[in-house]
Amino acid sequence: MIPGVFTYHRPSSVAEAVAILANHGDEARPLSGGHSLIPMMKLRMAAPEHLVDLGGIAALKGISEDGDTITIGAMTTQHELIGSDLLSAKLPIIRETALMIADPQIRYVGTLGGNVANGDPGNDMPALMQCLDASYVLTGPDGDRQVAARAFYEAAYFTALAPEEILTSIRIPVPAAGHGYAYEKLKRKVGDYATAAAAIVLTMNGGTVGMCSVALTNVADTPLFASEAGDILTGSTLDAATVKRAVAAAEAITQPASDGRGPAEYRTKMAGVMVERALARAAERARS
């Protein structure tokens, strides 16, 4: 379990990091927390020739609020997300989700940027970012561009990120005060990736749903934004028939693999169950 040989770079600015990536193209990879990449390197499933450690770039850390947008630096760790008062007040679903990722040791080191850039359908943050309609700021040799989380994921480990780009921050529109939220994750044990998981954010006006956003983790080779399920629920009173239709719409877009977490049919059904539970909890938490 010894990784292959590589050249180690530790730039102190984003520009420097991007220049190194641009020089080495596909042979180079950014290293954030390393808690997805190093296990792959130990298994020799990844063997980058150059590692660009982003740990020395202070500008990539931190959480800030600007008007209706919260910006989270890519190198912000899951532990820091959990401890953030700003996120607990404005985007509590991030804390709820982060607490379901891996275990304390991994959360001290694993970063939000690494989690969303990785492209592993098992990661929990990508679906959450789709649910929240976040965008990713990608910085390359020609400057910044923004890609919506909902348009970022192409296939397992294939994303809109170019080899010479770094994901530098995540921008999240703040949901309305009093919104309801829930991340429901079925897993076999602490530290496991999801058998299926669902993220929901909604608002309630009296007894009707003002807006509702639904996304799913680990039931396809990318995270899934379940737009139809959200549309069905919007404007409804969350009556049983409508919930049933929305759950069916969410299940219909899943394409899970059959693996140690269960056969595909089971995981599709569990995605539906997670949507139903998340919906109930989100509605209960919403203030109208």
Stretch that binds another protein, among 47-55, 146-154, 180-188, 273-281 (CB under 8 A): 47-55
Tokens standing for residue 94: 């991030």
Interacting residues with another protein between 53 and 92 (CB under 8 A) = 53, 55, 79
Q: Which does 51 bind (CB under 5 to 8 A by kind): another protein, ligand FAD, none?
A: another protein
Contact 131, 214 (CB under 8 A): yes
Strands 50-53 and 28-31: parallel
Beta-strand runs (E) in the chain = 7-9, 28-31, 50-53, 63-66, 69-73, 135-140, 143-148, 153-155, 158-159, 166-173, 180-186, 196-205, 208-217, 224-225
Q: How far is the CB of 3 from ligand FAD (least distance, A)?
A: 12
* Residue at 47: amino acid letter: A
Contact 149, 130 (CB under 8 A): yes
Given 23, 64, 105, 255, the residue binding another protein (CB under 8 A): 105
Residues 6+ apart with CB under 8 A from 181: 92, 93, 96, 175, 199, 200, 201, 202, 282, 285
Q: Does 4 bind another protein (CB under 8 A)?
A: yes
DSSP label at residue 194: P
Given 66, 103, 177, 241, the residue binding another protein (CB under 8 A): 103
Shorter beta-carbon distance to another protein: residue 109 or 174: 109
Q: Which does 193 bind (CB under 5 to 8 A by kind): another protein, ligand FAD, none?
A: ligand FAD
Which residue bears the tokens 């709820």?
96
Q: Does 191 bind ligand FAD (CB under 6 A)?
A: yes
Q: Which does 124 bind (CB under 5 to 8 A by kind): another protein, ligand FAD, none?
A: ligand FAD
Q: Does 102 bind another protein (CB under 8 A)?
A: yes
Residues binding ligand FAD: what is the number (CB under 6 A)? 30
Q: How far is the CB of 168 from another protein (least distance, A)?
A: 20
Q: How far is the CB of 200 from another protein (least distance, A)?
A: 23
Q: Which of these, 60, 92, 51, 251, lies nearest to 167 by C-alpha position? A: 60
Stretch that binds ligand FAD, among 35-43, 221-229, 236-244, 264-272 (CB under 6 A): 35-43
Given 37, 131, 137, 226, the residue binding ligand FAD (CB under 6 A): 37
Stretch that binds another protein, among 103-111, 167-175, 233-241, 250-258 (CB under 8 A): 103-111
Tokens standing for residue 66: 């600007």
Interacting residues with ligand FAD between 91 and 110 (CB under 6 A) = 101-102, 106, 110
Host H or E run for residue 265 = helix 264-285
Report d(CA 45, CA 214) in Å as an integer: 33
Strands 135-140 and 143-148: antiparallel
For residue 147, the cross-strand partners are 136
Q: Does 118 bind ligand FAD (CB under 6 A)?
A: yes
Q: Which does 190 bind (CB under 5 to 8 A by kind): ligand FAD, another protein, none?
A: another protein
Binding site for ligand FAD (CB under 6 A): 29-37, 39, 54, 74, 101-102, 106, 110-111, 113-115, 117-118, 123-125, 161, 166-167, 191, 193
